[in-house]
A and B are shown apart, each in its own frame.
Chain A
């Protein structure tokens, strides 16, 4: 992941104005290999990249944010755990059917204090993505998550969930084993958790598959993550009868962190480094850590009863309608 930092290879379409500068830097590097000192020139060009990047990122459209949220290099749950959580021990299995590699969890310490972390797991290569089913969990993934949340509850430790999934997996086995029941039960049981619970949408918040581990007392979103009831492509192909109208659907459905903060669906936006989380994963992890720590500390002042009441208040008021 780190070697791809500032790389030219994985630039998104809207970052293409950076390409000539990257090329120029490569040329200069080749020249300096022959003994000429180009350090100053290279430094200047790198500064230019920074400035230009800042400019580009100042005005991203929703569909561009979607692309960032799905970026192949975007830090995954296990990347963040490695950067944030000390003494992490991954815990596997739902004690019923199996273990789901698309949804991971375990115990460790955040700032020296015990926490339980669960999250959807994607990957940075096709091989990794296939092994993780692209972060699309099966029922056993949701059941493992619930089992682990109860482990945290019995130990009276806070729970952090990291959400990054296109959605729960739509497959034959998933239906046979009760995908709906697994998610529904998680929703009901998350409402009853007696410990502080913070959710961070780190990438794709894909519908019920995201919500299935996402009912925190606080829900935070990374600046370039998305959270939606349906993917822009799905929305476009169904409602607009044309999948190529995804950019329009992305805008209309209000799926960015900024939109969701306005609707009070989330509590806070966590800033990302210029160029997105993958451009500086450790800075992104640092930002998440600071924000999550703050919220856990606030929530830790509440009693178990108050935590349940706090969560209930949050979700009870969801909905916009007219009542005459």
Chain B
């Protein structure tokens, strides 16, 4: 499975990296005012794109959000308090591919300005307190190692401790291979914690964003009481390329996209980014009062 997802993760990671670099090259450098949409190639005024929550006004393509942008989108201003920020990954296998895992971690921290591939904490959505986890694809492709598994588990436990609904926003290429079997075990750990949350009678809401694949999908991303997805997000178990290689045929258009999952019964509702907070609020109000 991870063979698949991770394989795909790397291809996508390369793409995403190019994408991020392209975005930052275009977005962050003063004087660069225009960007081309990755989907429809429309030339967009960057200020317009940002004012539109990084959604292409021409074709509705949803550009990736950073975890900080996502938190700003969902939480009431100034209400988010991060928890467990100081848990760090470590290279316990002494694993080295083109570079040592330890260096990869440090580089990712510098490049993404994040400590790990998920940020967790407590915040308020339309004045409703929630326990929230937000993954960030820019940190090693949002891959799940010990830290991601631990932080997701702890935010579920925090929800139980304070009787809060738990919300997780996913963006992940799957398990983090550099942590070997321990990355696989995070699937077991997070799922067991969510079983407890369920027994507690607390709601668990998943917001699936582009991309969510592999071990992440096959554990906490698919265990929500409610599954919300952004339009056009790639969501799957195996990556498309691996499936193509296995079955030796082209995949149908739209395969493994949000709309495909919705029509196959795996996603409750697809929500445009501009409506995400209001939809989430309605669902939270179903549970609260």
Which residues of A come within 8 Å of B, CB atoms?
167-172, 174-181, 183-185, 187-189, 191-192, 206-209, 211-212, 215, 227-231, 233-235, 237-241, 252-255, 260, 263, 265, 311-312, 315-316, 318-324
What is the CA–CA distance of A7 and B219 in the complex, to the nearest angstrom? Answer: 43
Contacts of A169 in B (CB 8 A): 246
Within the complex, the shortest CB–CB distance from B86 to chain A, in Å, comes to 5
Contacts of A184 in B (CB 8 A): 187, 191, 217-223
Assuming A239-B177, A318-B189, A319-B185, what are 11 further A-B pairs, CB within 8 angstroms? A183-B1, A189-B195, A207-B3, A208-B218, A229-B177, A238-B6, A252-B93, A318-B146, A319-B146, A319-B149, A319-B189
* Contact A234-B6, Cβ < 8 Å, known A171-B247, A322-B87: yes
Q: In chain A, what residue has the closest Cβ to B13?
A: A238
29 A-B contact pairs sorted by A residue (CB < 8 Å): A167-B1, A170-B237, A174-B237, A175-B243, A178-B265, A180-B218, A181-B222, A183-B1, A185-B222, A189-B195, A192-B199, A206-B1, A206-B3, A207-B2, A209-B1, A229-B2, A229-B179, A230-B3, A238-B10, A239-B97, A253-B181, A255-B181, A318-B146, A318-B189, A319-B147, A319-B149, A319-B185, A319-B186, A320-B182
Interface hub of B1, B86, B191, B193 (most chain A Cβ within 10 A): B1
- Any A CB within 8 A of the CB of B4: yes
What is the CA–CA distance of A176 and B251 in the complex, to the nearest angstrom? Answer: 12
**Partner among A175, A231, A263 whose Cβ is within 8 Å of the Cβ of B236:** A175
* B6 adjacent to A208 (CB under 8 Å): no
* B237 adjacent to A229 (CB under 8 Å): no
Within the complex, the shortest CB–CB distance from B59 to chain A, in Å, comes to 25
Number of B residues near A (Cβ < 8 Å) is 70
- Any A CB within 8 A of the CB of B33: no
**Partner among A191, A319, A324 whose Cβ is within 8 Å of the Cβ of B195:** A191
What is the CA–CA distance of A306 and B17 in the complex, to the nearest angstrom? Answer: 47
Within the complex, the shortest CB–CB distance from B246 to chain A, in Å, comes to 5
What is the CA–CA distance of A312 and B237 in the complex, to the nearest angstrom? Answer: 25
- Any A CB within 8 A of the CB of B92: yes
Which residues of B come within 8 Å of A, CB atoms?
1-4, 6-7, 10, 86-90, 92-93, 95-98, 146-147, 149-150, 153, 175, 177-189, 191-196, 198-199, 214-215, 217-223, 236-239, 242-243, 246-247, 251-252, 255-256, 260, 264-266
What is the CA–CA distance of A168 and B4 in the complex, to the nearest angstrom? Answer: 10
What is the CA–CA distance of A265 and B3 in the complex, to the nearest angstrom? Answer: 20
**Partner among B89, B196, B237 whose Cβ is within 8 Å of the Cβ of A183:** B237
Q: In chain A, what residue has the closest Cβ to B256?
A: A175
Within the complex, the shortest CB–CB distance from A94 to chain B, in Å, comes to 15
* Contact A234-B7, Cβ < 8 Å, known A176-B264, A184-B221, A318-B149: yes
What is the CA–CA distance of A241 and B3 in the complex, to the nearest angstrom? Answer: 13
* B180 adjacent to A254 (CB under 8 Å): yes
Q: In chain A, what residue has the closest Cβ to B242?
A: A170
Within the complex, the shortest CB–CB distance from A261 to chain B, in Å, comes to 11
* A263 adjacent to B189 (CB under 8 Å): no
Contacts of B177 in A (CB 8 A): 229-230, 235, 238-239, 253
**In the A-B complex, the 5 residue pairs with the closest CB atoms:** A170-B238, A234-B3, A187-B191, A319-B146, A318-B185
Within the complex, the shortest CB–CB distance from B64 to chain A, in Å, comes to 20
**Partner among B96, B150, B193, B243 whose Cβ is within 8 Å of the Cβ of A252:** B96
**Partner among A167, A174, A180, A211 whose Cβ is within 8 Å of the Cβ of B188:** A211
Within the complex, the shortest CB–CB distance from B251 to chain A, in Å, comes to 7
* B221 adjacent to A172 (CB under 8 Å): no
Within the complex, the shortest CB–CB distance from B213 to chain A, in Å, comes to 8
* Contact A178-B264, Cβ < 8 Å, known A183-B237, A188-B194, A324-B88: yes
What is the CA–CA distance of A187 and B222 in the complex, to the nearest angstrom? Answer: 11
* B90 adjacent to A320 (CB under 8 Å): yes
What is the CA–CA distance of A260 and B222 in the complex, to the nearest angstrom? Answer: 27
Contacts of A240 in B (CB 8 A): 97-98
